């Protein structure tokens, strides 16, 4: 059954680049498992492994293609609105594709995190003006009226020292300037949001897990997922 039909949707950005251009879609009730967590927690690795294990279709966050990312970490206040709005459009397009799919999708980060964690944190830190925040939330609420939230959230909980270690290991240049204060603020927001979330959430205590290299750790995670998914879809 088709719930909503949208045709030729276009969203322009201030620099003249189209974020959404002529998008047409029909929204169906889809099935989606989403992996949540901060930078360096292992979302992308777990997304890939779960897709291979269950035969799900992976949907990765396109970090490489955000033209504002490097500038953002150099000057967060200047580039917050640009970066977050670009991510919002990308994640909305992901939700459109997920809603159209007949397959089970496993998603690396969701549109919900962008709003309730990163945008909320930037607003609290003074990096977003009231005007920019209100505009962003108007776009978000409009988008969420057209799609549904994931069927299951899997939250990879890691401490700040572990996250710092993981970020240093993978050596992405644009992440080198991330401060401990910034990571700590995100950590607190994740914990509060997860505690208040009303949908299905599976929390994985991941500090001592190496699921990429230890099969028993990966089995620990899949056993928990199997228990959550039984009767879900």
CB atoms inside a 10 Å sphere around CB 224: 14
Active site residue 108: yes
Contact predicate 25/96, CB 8 Å: yes
Q: For residues 38 and 186, what is the distance between their CA atoms, to the nearest angstrom? A: 7
Q: For residues 90 and 64, what is the distance between their CA atoms, to the nearest angstrom? A: 12
Q: For residues 76 and 68, what is the distance between their CA atoms, to the nearest angstrom? A: 10
Q: Cα 99 vs. chain centroid, distance in angstroms?
A: 16
Instruction: Choose the catalytic residue: 3, 75, 94, 108.
Output: 108
Active site residue ranges? 108
């Amino acid at each position: 059954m088709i719930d909503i039909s949208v045709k030729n949707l276009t969203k322009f950005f201030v620099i003249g680049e189209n974020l959404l251009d002529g998008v047409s879609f029909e929204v169906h009730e889809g099935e989606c498992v989403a992996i949540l967590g901060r930078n360096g927690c292992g979302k992308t690795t777990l997304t890939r492994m779960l897709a291979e294990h269950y035969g799900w279709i992976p949907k990765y966050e396109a970090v490489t293609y955000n033209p504002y990312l490097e500038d953002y970490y150099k000057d967060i206040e200047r580039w917050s609105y640009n970066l977050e709005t670009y991510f919002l459009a990308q994640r909305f397009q992901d939700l459109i594709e997920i809603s159209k799919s007949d397959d089970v999708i496993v998603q690396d980060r969701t549109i919900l995190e962008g709003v309730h964690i990163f945008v909320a944190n930037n607003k609290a830190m003074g990096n977003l003006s009231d005007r920019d925040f209100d505009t962003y939330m108007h776009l978000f609420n409009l988008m969420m009226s057209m799609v549904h939230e994931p069927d299951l959230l899997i939250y990879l909980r890691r401490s700040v020292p572990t996250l710092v270690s993981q970020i240093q290991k993978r050596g992405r240049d644009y992440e080198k300037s991330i401060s401990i204060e910034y990571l700590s603020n995100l950590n607190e927001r994740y914990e509060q949001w997860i505690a208040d979330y009303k949908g299905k959430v599976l929390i994985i205590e991941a500090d001592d897990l190496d699921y990429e290299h230890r099969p028993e750790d990966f089995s620990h995670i899949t056993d928990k997922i199997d228990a959550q998914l039984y009767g879900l879809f």
